[in-house]
Amino acid sequence: MNQIKIFAPASVANVSCGFDVLGFCLEPVGDQMLIRKTNSSGIKITKIEGQNLPLDVKKNVAGVAAEALLKAHPTKSGFEIEIYKNIKAGSGIGSSAASAAGAVYGINELLGKPYTSHDLISFAMEGEGMASGTVHADNVAPVLMGGITLVRSIDPVDVIKLPIPKALTAVVLHPKIELKTMHAREIIKKNVTMEKAIQQWGNLGAFVSALYNEDYDLMSRSLKDEIVEPMRSMLIPEFESLKKASIQAGAIGFGISGSGPSVYALTKGIDGAKKIHSAINEVISSIDIDYEIHISKINEQGIKILTD
């Protein structure tokens, strides 16, 4: 196999009580990438469509991630990458993670899979690090491993795949305003009160338990974030109205996706998701910005190979 075409999906990270550790993979939205093994060594990004992003491998998350892999696994072959972006950079649904994960996934396949999905996280993280200014794994992990993931540690990388309650469905709103991850990081405080930290880990522990027991009521009680949301939500237009409308329409939880401006709601089943879609649409259409709303099951597989 000398070339591979893949689908690198979007993802939701910083899931309320799971700031910096919890993420899940989406199904309908994602980039396509074509990766080709060549005889000349090194990484080349030969084409990017759909977004104005640098072809320079040192300045592109896919290039940085790919080079991290090749540094750990030297080979005589080189790789050319074509990227067909559908996920907008700065949208908060893991645009850079998709590119970084896609590059290392594709190259790993063409090398005959020397690495597991879990192994690939650290390479993809290096790409992410360039995009956001800090190294984090909560988007690349669900893209590479699929489903819902918990990043216990990034040094060393230790990621746990959590169970996916069957009916769990996400609604994601992407208001098309740009919010740089690096900027959204800046407004996060360096310290938190012990009291709020305890609430957060109590909620995260409960949310993990709720996933195992498919306990939607407990998911709802525990999907809270009193640490980051109060700060970052100010950057998102109509955040409180969107949250209120979603919860009234039956969402079990609502919060910021990644570092925003996208927001997510979780609910039970497609019908529930459609109600939330309508509720969100009513709020967001009242202001003058472009937006997209996606309904998505949790993508259990994550990144995948496309066959033409």
Site residues (CB under 8 A) for a second copy? Answer: 17-22, 150-153, 158, 160, 162, 188-194, 197-209, 212, 218, 221-222, 227
Q: Which amino acid, 138?
A: D
Q: How far apart are CA 209 and CA 167, in angstroms?
A: 16
Closest distance of CB 163 from a second copy, Å? 8
Nearer to a second copy, 21 or 172 (CB): 21
Closest distance of CB 122 from a second copy, Å? 16
49 is catalytic: no
What is the torsional sign of CA 261, 267, 270, 272?
A: negative
214 is catalytic: no
Q: What are the angstrom distances between the C-alpha of 189 and each of 203, 227, 229, 230, 262? A: 20, 9, 12, 11, 21
C-beta separation of 207 from 217 below 8 A: no
What DSSP character marks residue 167?
T
Report residue 214: phi and psi, to 5°: 45, 45
Nearer to a second copy, 76 or 190 (CB): 190
Closest distance of CB 302 from a second copy, Å? 18
Nearer to a second copy, 58 or 196 (CB): 196
Closest distance of CB 132 from a second copy, Å? 15
- Pairing label, strands 78-84, 42-49: parallel
Active-site option among 181, 229, 238, 267: 181
Q: How far apart are CA 32 and CA 306, in angstroms?
A: 9
Nearer to a second copy, 20 or 80 (CB): 20
Nearer to a second copy, 123 or 207 (CB): 207
Active-site option among 67, 126, 128, 229: 128
The SS3 of residue 261 is coil
Exposed, middle or buried: residue 135 (CB in 10 Å: 0-12, 13-18, 19+)? Answer: middle
Peptide bond into 28 cis (omega under 30): no
Q: Identify the CA nearest to 292 among candidates 166, 126, 174, 211.
A: 174
Closest distance of CB 203 from a second copy, Å? 6
Q: What are the angstrom distances between the C-alpha of 193 and each of 26, 189, 207? A: 33, 10, 21
- Stretch (H or E) spanning 197: helix 194-213
Q: Identify the CA nearest to 157 among candidates 146, 149, 166.
A: 149
Nearer to a second copy, 116 or 285 (CB): 116
Catalytic positions, please? Answer: 128, 181
